[in-house]
Amino acid sequence: MIKENLKAVRVNIPTDVTLVAVSKTKPIEDILEAYAEGQRIFGENKVQELVDKYEVLPKDIEWHLIGHLQTNKVKYIAPFVSLIHAVDSLKLLKEINKQAKKNGRTIDCLLQFHIAQESSKFGLSFEYAREILESNEFVELQNISIAGVMGMATFTNNEEKIREEFQALENYFNVLKSHYFKFNNHFQHISMGMSGDYQIAIDEGSTMVRVGSSIFGSR
Ligand SMILES: *Cc1c(COP(=O)(O)O)cnc(C)c1O
C-alpha cells in the first residue's frame, strides 16, 4: 500500500513543493518501500529513533528532524541531520551551531512559529523571532543557516481557520524575508501541511509538506 499511497500523495503536490515523508513509529521495511519508489527525504520527531534509523538505512537519505529538540540531544544528530524544522529558541540555535562546528558542518534550521489556536509549549512568537534575528549573538552563529519557517495549524475540521493560520505563517515568512534575508536565497522554505491539511497549505504558499499517515498508514 505504501507504494500506491505515495503515488497518490505525489499527484497532489506540485514539483516545486518538497515532500517530507514522515516515518515516525514506522519500521525500517516501510521506509525502504518508500525509498524504492525514489523517496529520499524522511522526517522523524524523536532523536533516538532518528539516529537508529539513520544508522541502518541507505546513506543518501536526507533526514529531517521535525519534532521538538532538546538542547542536550543536538549532539546525536549534528553529524548527519539535513534540516531541523522546529527551532524555537536562541539557546537551541546556539547549541546547534556549536555541535555543527564540532562536526565541520553548517546545519540548516527552520524557525518554528506558534500559529495554532491550541496552547502549546512550542513555537516562537513573531516578536521573539525578531529579537533573536536582531541579537548580536545570532550574528555570530556561523555554522547554522536559517532556511525558512515552520508551523502547525490547529487540529480542526474548520478549513477557514486552518487557512488563516497558514496565511499568518506565510506572512511571517514574507516579513522576515524582506527585513532580514532579502539577499539570502537560502531563506526559502515554508514548512507547513500534514496529511489532513497539506492541500490547503499548498494553496497558501507551502514549499515543504510533512506527510506521514497518508503515506504510511495510521499510527
Ligand atoms: C507526525 C507529524 C507530521 C505528520 O503527520 P500526519 O498527520 O501523519 O501526516 C507532520 N509534522 C509533524 C511536526 C509531526 O509531528
pLDDT digits (tens, 9 = 90+) for 69-111: 999 999 999 999 999 999 999 999 999 999 999 999 999 999 9
Please state the atom number of ligand 1 nearest to the C-alpha of residue 211: 9
Q: Give burial (CB, 10 Å; 0-12/13-18/19+) of 41.
A: middle
Q: Model's pTM, two decimal places?
A: 0.97
Q: pLDDT at residue 45 above 80?
A: yes
Q: State the residue for C-alpha cell 525500517.
A: 28
Residues 6+ apart with CB under 8 A from 22: 42, 43, 44, 45, 66, 194, 210, 211, 212, 215, 216
- Whole-number Å distance, alpha carbon 99 to ligand 1 midpoint, is 26
Cα–chain center distance at 83: 7
- Whole-number Å distance, alpha carbon 19 to ligand 1 midpoint, is 12
Q: What is the pLDDT of residue 203?
A: 98
Q: What is the pLDDT of residue 122?
A: 85
Whether ligand 1 lies within 6 angstroms of the CB of 176 is answered as no
- Whole-number Å distance, alpha carbon 10 to ligand 1 midpoint, is 17
Q: What is the pLDDT of residue 3?
A: 97
Among 16, 98, 24, 34, which Cα is nearest to 65's?
A: 24
Residue 119's pLDDT band, with cuts at 50, 70 and 90, is: confident
Residues 6+ apart with CB under 8 A from 189: 18, 110, 147, 148, 149, 150, 207, 208
pLDDT tens readout for residues 46-70 = 999 999 999 999 999 999 999 999 9
- Tell me yes or no: is domain 2-216 CATH 3.20.20.10: yes
Q: pLDDT at residue 172 above 90?
A: yes
Q: What is the spatial distance between Cα 163 and Cα 200, in angstroms, rounded to a whole number?
A: 6
Q: Enter the DSSP assignment of 124.
A: B
